[in-house]
Structure 1
């Protein structure tokens, strides 16, 4: 996967909303569902232009 778009936010809800907006507006697919980034209190999600082969534990493989 050559291009990855990342969302970072202060809450899971905000991260989820922005991930959904990126996917809808730009035709992306989730590659990493929202998860709290260790030790930072920030939430992160990722999307990519092409569908991942599989998703396990919220992460594309």
Structure 2
């Protein structure tokens, strides 16, 4: 299974900003743009490595 990093935040703007920061600092690519997690009031986004590392990463 590929490694996936998750961002959770209270607002879409905060989630988007932290996703962008995570991708920039760690060399990741967005995998799922921010969306509201139903029933929680929280926002969720995901990122993955852009290139496989040791057999993991994005399977493009």
Sort the TM-score into its range (normalised by shorter chain): 0.7 to 0.9
Alignment match, 2:26: 26
TM-score by length of 2: 0.81
Which of 1 and 2 has greater Rg? 2
Unaligned runs of 5+ in 2: 52-57
How many corresponding residue pairs? 53
Q: CA RMSD in A?
A: 1.4
Unaligned runs of 5+ in 1: 54-61
Alignment match, 1:7: 7
